[in-house]
Amino acid sequence: MTSPTAPGPVPGPDIRAAGPVPRPGILDIAPYIGGDATAPGIERPIRLASNESALGPSPKAIAAYRALSGEIDRYPDGSSAKLREALGRHHGLDPERIVCGSGSDELIGLLLRAYAGPGSEVLYSRHGFLMYPIGALAVGATPVAVPERDLTADVDGFLARLTERTRIVFIANPNNPTGTYLSARDMARLHAGLPRNVVLAIDAAYAEFVNRNDYEPGVALVNRAENVVMLRTFSKIYALAGLRLGWAYCPPAIADVLNRIRGPFNVTAPALAAGVAAVEDVAALARARAHNQHWLPWLSERLAALGLNLTPSVGNFVLPCFPEDPRRNADAAYAFLQSRGILTRKMGAYSLPQHLRITIGTGEEMETVAAALAEFMAEFKAGA
């Protein structure tokens, strides 16, 4: 007879000898690789690889960040109350339904941990933001890439791929890296086709840059549905990427769930202080928006005039498509620009190996990159 305290079955010696084994799915992840920040031999490269805002942060946000330096011995306010209130005032939202995070990346991960897992499926558009499939694999869920039409999310494609296992649909609107967007009407049509147990996560990281009448960042849908979440970030137009700050606007039940599983102090005190100052500096926001509205079409027109194919972008970046010829393909263009100290983003990880993504930078940076690409294309023509 076995005693009640006898140990259970001992794992086979092969398992014990193999070392720690991560959960299924984790070794399928190709780690996210950020944009280059350095160019060999160049002291201050032009950094157009990560969609950070051209004009830098609001001076008021920088001052608020510096003012916090005397208090970094203290834990931050774990409820991010002042920032949620500032966001509530600025956007006309209930602060109770806002959850702040260490970048929107953290909030993407929290949504996945809460609502997906082994046996479930997570839908994202084929050339959508990479953190959706990476995050899905990290929780043991199956990422399902939905084909796009003209590099744009396809509502019918999403609806056709729903199964009983679907738990979350992620859509970046506008999308990174394609720069395309879904109208409010199309997004509502997608939502109308989803079962009520499927979360629609609208990632509006680039919302502030969009200048289209038929666009809506997601607030209207969150206000009337129990299964829609809007994600926002301070990394792009607010230019606070280094501080790691994002937020989610949620139905009350989803806010409650995210608050249960997030870290108790998931946002740092300097990030909270800078975030409040940034939200309140509406003049800085207007300047950043106006800058993009000038330089986005400017760069798009210059690149199109060089014969490069461009998908119309509503974000703060463009995605030129280069010819297949190895002398002037995207890799050759990347290397040429890098040799001039201009850093752009290769798109192989997004299955767009013929494209480069170029962030809208300062006016001077835009003139430099346009001139360099003109030279690159001309060199080819001369040698053709």
Ligand X SMILES: Cc1ncc(COP(=O)(O)O)c(C=O)c1O
Bridge-partner residues for 346, per DSSP? Answer: 356
Neighbours of 114 (CB within 10 A): 18
Residue 365 interacts with ligand X (CB under 6 A): yes or no: no
Residues 179, 177: Cα–Cα separation, whole Å: 6
Residue 279 burial (10 A CB sphere; 0-12, 13-18, 19+): buried
Residue 216 interacts with ligand X (CB under 6 A): yes or no: no
- Give, in order, the Cα–Cα distances in Å from 366 to each of 70, 179, 358: 39, 18, 10
Task: Name the minimum Å distance from CB 157 to ligand X.
Answer: 19
Residue closer to ligand X, measured from CB, 229 or 372: 229
Residue closer to ligand X, measured from CB, 167 or 357: 357
Q: Which residue is nearest to ligand X (CB)?
A: 103
x-marked contacts with ligand X along 143-172 as a string, rule CB under 6 A = -----------------------------x
Could you say which of 205, 278, 288, 370 contacts ligand X (CB under 6 A)?
205
Task: Name the minimum Å distance from CB 338 to ligand X.
Answer: 20
**Tokens (6 digits) for 112:** 């996945």
Residue 104 interacts with ligand X (CB under 6 A): yes or no: yes
Contacts made by residues 296-304, CB under 8 angstroms, sequence distance 24+: 296/209, 296/360, 298/366, 299/358, 299/360, 299/366, 299/369, 299/370, 302/370, 302/373, 302/374, 303/370, 303/373
Residue 233 interacts with ligand X (CB under 6 A): yes or no: yes
- Stretch touching ligand X by CB under 6 A, among 12-20, 102-110, 292-300, 327-335: 102-110
In this structure, the strands spanning 320-321 and 309-310 are antiparallel
108-147: contacts with ligand X (CB under 6 A): 129
State residue 61 phi and psi, 5-degree precision. Answer: -70, -40
252-291: contacts with ligand X (CB under 6 A): none
* Size, binding site for ligand X by CB under 6 A: 13
Residue 235 interacts with ligand X (CB under 6 A): yes or no: yes
Residue 105 interacts with ligand X (CB under 6 A): yes or no: yes
Could you say which of 52, 154, 186, 203 contacts ligand X (CB under 6 A)?
203
Residue 103 interacts with ligand X (CB under 6 A): yes or no: yes
9-38: contacts with ligand X (CB under 6 A): none
Residues 204, 219: Cα–Cα separation, whole Å: 10
Return residues touching ligand X (CB under 6 A).
Answer: 51, 103-105, 129, 172, 176, 203, 205, 233, 235, 241, 246
